[in-house]
Structure 1
């Protein structure tokens, strides 16, 4: 077969190499972070953080016990946060406005340990990741809390449309779930690498860059990051950043663009899956989707233009390999 298509073997070898490099990079980042999260939860850190966030929830017009939901979501993921919400919501009634505000917090600031570690591999510091995502989540929540309260919007009872499956307790069940997740990440990441090669070969990559050029210009991000941005927006930060790491280390994307892309994807990623998940809790679609997207575009545009106006425009990122 390879003798009939002499160019096929090096192409496949290159694809396999890209997949292996990207996946191994993610494994080295995600595995220690995942274990650290499990240990923190076992030591009661999640419960403590939930109590600490209680007063913040009350300032946003939410019951204090929902602080646990956001704490779980920040340390683990949206699915686990939803399970915690379901446990707390038994016998309780929340308005659509309250669920939408909680949904914004969960969508913007979740999986911070794992996704923060992935962002760190691109060169974006932990403190910037946490400041942008937690700060933005709180700003959005305060903004919409004031809007809903002032105009009396979305005060009808929310309809919970999802009941999670009870996961197997203990380290064994948790370990099996993580192995299944890592297997799915390999499948999806491999598909993305192959898809990007095919799009580049067919010339579709150039078309996508042209279609996304207005958004990229608004964000002051180079067109080289267009495909990775759209992948991260639709599928998630880990997949987008996983591909971004290779591009950064190969020198295809500038460090400035890397920082802007990672910050943008931190606020606005997995628009399909994550949005649908929060909708199942009874949130308002316009709030959790368009509110998040518009805010992310406005914030990253402002950040990008501040750097462009800087006289010397210093490199905002350290070497990601350091």
Structure 2
């Protein structure tokens, strides 16, 4: 019988190997995509495509200038979206609607590729998130009566006005810091997961999560993966998912529902907290997104059950003909 020390060593070794593998995989995505995105923002090209989203702002009950923070946030991330929001005269209700949109649909290029590399078509993942953002904001907007924002230059540039070399230095420092953060978190998660597997603790934790997973429409097999992405973020969750997918533990249906859920509802601690400083109610930062994720996964589950029956019905009709 394997001793406690042997189990601990086995778990740590397995976790370290998978953690390093997941970290390298993440860097291959993070570095080129973040570099491309920062160059895009620096070039000012983001501001030139502003007019493309302007008509959609009426649908979202937002003023035309809200398109700029949304574009920046969708192409960069929460920080970029907030940086643009605070530079323009929006009301609290307007910022609330933008916050809900960006909490679901931010950093779409990078996170879309991350989801694509970890088991879901990146285009489908991005379309799901954008659709969820639009529908959620439209519904929440019915509870508000946003006042029109003061007139301002909607096409104002938020790209970095510093010389290119300084911008690249800033990007390098920020990327290095983020890489260290990712390394520590992924390695810790993988080591913890390895130890839990070695001591057969996974099933106990998943069993405790069962009631919550059922509410979210997810299978118990994705419990740890869902919890990782929900708490730490999509990037960290995807790195763990990749290692699980390699072991063949998940079906395509389970993986699709998992990605749909965490695409809408990830980083439940850090991301919403960033908007609290803008005076936005915690209720709107957490509850609508959770409800959207629950409904979306249950609808997907319903579609997955209907689809085989539909195919069978079509085959019967063809055979009759």
TM-score, with structure 2 as normaliser: 0.83
The CA distance in 1 between the partners of 2:35 and 2:167, in whole Å, is 13
The CA distance in 2 between the partners of 1:261 and 1:53, in whole Å, is 29
- Is the Cα contact below 8 Å between 2:112 and 2:123 reproduced in 1? no
The residue aligned with 2:111 is: 115
Which of structures 1 and 2 has the bigger CA Rg? 2
1:25 Cα deviation (Å)?
Answer: 1.3
- Indicate the SS of the match to 1:42: helix
- Is the Cα contact below 8 Å between 2:8 and 2:195 reproduced in 1? no
The residue aligned with 2:126 is: 130
The residue aligned with 1:53 is: 53
The CA distance in 1 between the partners of 2:285 and 2:189, in whole Å, is 26
Could you tell me which runs of 5 or more consecutive residues in structure 2 were left unpaired when the two chains were aligned. 150-159, 312-321
Q: Aligned pair 1:276/2:273, yes or no? A: yes
The residue aligned with 2:212 is: 215
1:218 Cα deviation (Å)?
Answer: 4.3
Alignment: residue pair count: 294
Q: Aligned pair 1:289/2:293, yes or no? A: no
Superposed counterparts of 1:74-153, under 5 Å: 74-88=74-88, 92=89, 94-149=90-145
- Indicate the SS of the match to 2:214: helix
Q: Aligned pair 1:67/2:67, yes or no? A: yes
The residue aligned with 1:160 is: none
- Is the Cα contact below 8 Å between 1:220 and 1:305 reproduced in 2? no
The residue aligned with 1:233 is: 230
The residue aligned with 2:195 is: 198
The CA distance in 2 between the partners of 1:225 and 1:217, in whole Å, is 11
When residues 313 and 26 of structure 1 are mapped into structure 2, their CA distance, relative to the original with a 3 A threshold, is farther
Higher relative contact order (CA 8 A, sep 6+): 2
More divergent stretch after superposition (114-123 vs 215-224): 215-224
1:229 Cα deviation (Å)?
Answer: 0.2
Task: Supply the RMSD in Å over aligned alpha carbons.
Answer: 2.6
1:147 Cα deviation (Å)?
Answer: 2.6
Superposed counterparts of 1:224-263, under 5 Å: 224-263=221-260
The CA distance in 2 between the partners of 1:229 and 1:38, in whole Å, is 30
The CA distance in 2 between the partners of 1:111 and 1:296, in whole Å, is 18
- Is the Cα contact below 8 Å between 1:49 and 1:68 reproduced in 2? no
- Indicate the SS of the match to 1:269: coil
When residues 313 and 107 of structure 1 are mapped into structure 2, their CA distance, relative to the original with a 3 A threshold, is farther
